[in-house]
């Protein structure tokens, strides 16, 4: 087997279970040295933090002949994110890849959502993507200034719930749409330092999705929705083969691998000053525009 990530130093957040575990173990099988980050706790972010899951995955990688260390820092903490990036540099001598995967769910319809349910999800997903990315970007900038070659990767985790929209997830969807925008903007900022930035929108049956009505799914569906299908695109994006790809969002599951197309300007009308003239213009624009996509990424009117 060709090793796509031989010697690459990778950080994977939320890697103690589910999709993150698959990322970490496949990266290791392809020759990467992996920092396995996981805070532990419950899927809604509550419970007692524990670095047990991170240590278990790191141990599994080492027993298979790979290189890995565990890290239990909170990626939504400014200092914790810095320690996480420092762990890669201090343990393996550098940093090539950060996979921002950590996340929680606190689903609720908007009219019933609490402030804490909003804040917790936004903090883990958005700040938990920003903080490790910021410290990694600062490291790569310093490497570039020192004349060191940099071929680095940021790989973020968005969701079809964010880019297409799913009822009951205004907090989660807003965070995930924010991560998609973060990805596009960061790709433009960090290109000068030799860094590509992409995102994946995975669909998988994991601890986070077990309460979404998939418990009675057929064996065929469960296989299609296995988290193992997400790791191949992440492993490839982490490799040097992906150097020409940046600022993109990839949908990934056992059913599909696709590029999600972002916002584009649609039909256009000349602006008017009189609001009483707006309605026919809007009617015309909407008649010519593509409808929003449903959760499958397709025209929701069909």
Q: What residues are annotated to the active site?
A: 172
**Rounded-to-integer distance, Cα 14 and Cα 202, Å:** 14
Question: H or E stretch including 76?
Answer: none
Contact between 226 and 254 under an 8 Å Cβ cutoff? The reply is yes
Q: What is the DSSP letter of 196?
A: E
Burial group, residue 265, by CB count within 10 angstroms (0-12, 13-18, 19+): exposed
**Cα separation of 129 and 175, whole Å?**
10
Q: Residue 234 and residue 253: Cα distance in Å, rounded? A: 12
Three-class SS state of 284: helix
Map residue 226 onto helix, strand or coil.
coil
């Amino acid at each position: 087997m060709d090793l796509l990530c031989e010697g690459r130093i990778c950080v994977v957040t939320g890697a103690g279970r589910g999709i993150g575990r698959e990322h970490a173990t496949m990266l290791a099988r392809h020759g990467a040295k992996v920092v396995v980050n996981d805070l532990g706790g419950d899927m809604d972010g509550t419970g007692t933090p524990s670095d047990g899951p991170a240590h278990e995955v790191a141990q599994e990688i080492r027993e298979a002949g790979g290189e890995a260390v565990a890290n239990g820092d909170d990626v939504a903490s400014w200092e914790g994110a810095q320690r996480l990036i420092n762990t890669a540099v201090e343990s393996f001598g550098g940093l090539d890849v950060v996979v921002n995967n950590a996340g929680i769910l606190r689903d609720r319809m908007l009219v019933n959502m609490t402030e804490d349910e909003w804040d917790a999800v936004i903090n883990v997903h958005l700040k938990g993507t920003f903080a490790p990315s910021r410290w990694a970007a600062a490291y790569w900038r310093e490497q570039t200034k020192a004349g060191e070659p940099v071929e680095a990767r940021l790989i973020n985790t968005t969701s079809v719930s964010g880019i297409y929209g799913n009822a009951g997830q205004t907090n989660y969807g807003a965070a995930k749409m924010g991560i998609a925008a973060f990805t596009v903007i960061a790709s433009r900022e960090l290109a000068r330092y030799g860094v590509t930035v992409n995102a994946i929108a995975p669909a998988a049956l994991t601890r986070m999705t077990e309460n979404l009505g998939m418990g009675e799914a057929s064996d065929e569906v469960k296989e299609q929705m296995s988290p193992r299908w997400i790791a191949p695109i992440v492993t490839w994006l982490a490799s040097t083969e992906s150097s020409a790809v940046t600022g993109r969002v990839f949908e990934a599951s056992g059913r599909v691998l696709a590029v999600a197309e972002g916002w584009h300007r649609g039909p256009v009308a000349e602006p008017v000053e009189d609001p009483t003239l707006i309605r026919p213009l809007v009617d015309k624009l909407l008649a010519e525009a593509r409808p929003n996509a449903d959760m499958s990424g397709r025209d929701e009117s069909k």
